[in-house]
Amino acid sequence: MKSAVVLLAGLFAFTAYYVYLPLPSTVSEPWRLMLLDASFRAAQQSCNLAHYLGLGHHLRILNFIIGTFDKLNLQYVEQEQVKITDTQFDGVEVRVYEPAKAEENLRRGVVYIHGGGWALSSTRGSFYNNLCSVMAKSLDAVVVSIEYRLVPDFHFPVQFNDVLHAARHFMQPEILAQYSVDPGRVAISGDSAGGNLAAAVCQEMSQDQNETGRFKLQALVYPVLQAFDFNTPSYQQNEFTPVLPRFVMVKFWIDYFNGNREFAHSLVVNNHTSLDVGQASSFRDRVDWTSLITPRLRKTYRPVTPTTGRVEILQAIPSLLNVRAAPLLAEKQVLRLQPKTYILTCEIDVLRDDGIMYAKRLEDAGVEITLDHIEDCFHGCMIFTIWPTHFSAGIRTRDRYIKWLHENL
Ligand SMILES: *[C@@H]1O[C@H](CO)[C@@H](O)[C@H](O)[C@H]1NC(C)=O
Ligand SMILES: *[C@@H]1O[C@H](CO)[C@@H](O)[C@H](O)[C@H]1NC(C)=O
């Protein structure tokens, strides 16, 4: 009996220790976030163990767990109001959401790219299925959600090319006509790694010779935009914050390029872009947050710019500085071509400054920009709107994003 009590107390203490995280006082619903983070961490750690035991690649197992969890999720939207079709655009799988109610006029369109570190999630899971259905319904728009292929089976530039091919296919006049979409009212959008792909593909298509097939808007939700500097103020401030600690983000980047994970510790201290790494120098001012970010957000953080680092990292993974992977690194002439842009950032997010720097560089290039900064939200919040991972802050974020699209598209 006594030992059982001790055991229980021990278990309780361990669980509390595992779940408890010091969070900024501004975060909304902190306990719910701690539980979400602890579950995600436990899943990641189990997957790492399974990977170590040779049972499969940890990312594939993690995606399987997320998919299974998704199936348990009973709360689907009122899908009778939206017609959902799985099809292919130029060989790339897509899921198309069309409002069910008849409409005489042409509709708006949104090309949507889901997040998940280029490795996780799916258009078909409840999170994104729900988001895209809500978007189709509330915007009365045709939403094309792209099922691009994932890490670890595929790596950069496969994800970029999948999104590019599907987006170009949809933007052809005859395809838009088939879906009754107004060619002048189509946006490209995505969250997190999907925001990365949206920004990169938007840049690519803005340079197409064809005047037709251009997006009216881009809307990027806490996008990941650069792998140059892992010591921006937001990376420093949120080094250990859920659901995306710095080290996890660095590993997503390395896996995107199928690079050596041994480099992760060096990337964290910016050894890949130290002053002695020649290729890095021409990009340095494009991520110079001492001028791109306001003092209020810079706080007292200092740049981490080592004099000497490890030249071999960029030799092994040159794509770290490829603009198709890191759209923040694009030159000003390309930024000038971008459509009106919405960028949503969260204070409690390592990627906050990726978004803020991109907003500033686009603004300096003459692009009309809305930077929507949310003080009490964490990375990924927008998809956490359904039970049991529902956050009122998530719903608030999603509504602000949809409201902007509604007013501007
Ligand atoms: C330009 O548009 C035309 C007509 O829609 C299309 O046939 C052609 O493939 C497009 N070219 C490029 C480079 O996208
Ligand atoms: C970073 O580079 C310096 C200089 O080469 C080296 O001394 C240090 O060990 C490196 N740190 C990491 C974590 O790679």
* CA pair distance 157, 256, nearest whole angstrom: 9
Residue nearest atom 6 of ligand 2, based on CA coordinates: 309
Give the model's confidence band at 72: pLDDT under 50 very low, under 70 low, under 90 confident, else very high. Answer: low
Does position 52 have pLDDT exceeding 60, yes or no? Answer: yes
C-alpha dist (Å) from residue 364 to 1, 63, 286, 336, 357: 69, 39, 12, 9, 11
Choose the catalytic residue: 121, 192, 234, 274.
192
Q: In Å, how far from its chain's centre is CA 180?
A: 29
> Each residue of 146-177: b (16+ CB within 10 Å) or e?
bbbebbbebbbbbbbbbbbbbbbbbbbeebbe
Paired tokens of 137: 């319904």
pTM (predicted TM-score): 0.93
The arithmetic mean of pLDDT across residues 389-406, rounded, is: 92
More confident residue, 91 or 77: 91
Check residue 66 and give its pLDDT. 83
Pocket of ligand 1 (CB under 6 A): 172-173, 208-210, 212
Range in 13-27, 69-83, 344-358 with the lowest mean pLDDT: 69-83
Ligand 1 geometric centre to CA of 179 (Å)? 18
Does position 74 have pLDDT exceeding 60, yes or no? Answer: no
Check residue 28 and give its pLDDT. 78
The CATH number, out of the four listed (3.40.50.1820, 3.30.428.10, 3.40.50.720, 3.40.1080.10), of the domain defined by the range 70-226+331-408: 3.40.50.1820
Shortest-distance ligand to the CA of residue 307: 2
Q: What are phi and psi of 102, to 5 degrees?
A: -65, 150
For ligand 2, is residue 305 a contact (CB within 6 Å)? no
145 is an active site residue: no
Paired tokens of 98: 């069309």
Domain spans, the chain: 70-226+331-408, 233-321
| pLDDT tens per residue across span 206-258 | 999 887 889 999 999 999 999 999 999 999 999 999 889 999 999 999 999 99
Ligand 2 geometric centre to CA of 73 (Å)? 46
Does position 299 have pLDDT exceeding 90, yes or no? Answer: yes
Q: Indicate the top mutation candidate among 172, 201, 207 to test ligand 1's pocket, ranked by most ligand atoms within 8 A of CB.
A: 172
The ligand 2 atom nearest the CA atom of 268: 13
Does position 287 have pLDDT exceeding 60, yes or no? Answer: yes
Ligand 1 geometric centre to CA of 214 (Å)? 11
Check residue 389 and give its pLDDT. 76
Check residue 216 and give its pLDDT. 98
Does position 73 have pLDDT exceeding 70, yes or no? Answer: no
Q: How many CA atoms lie within 13 A of 165 on its CB side?
A: 16
User: In the chain, what percentage of residues exceed pLDDT 90?
Assistant: 74
Q: Indicate the top mutation candidate among 310, 311, 313, 314 to test ligand 2's pocket, ranked by most ligand atoms within 8 A of CB.
A: 310
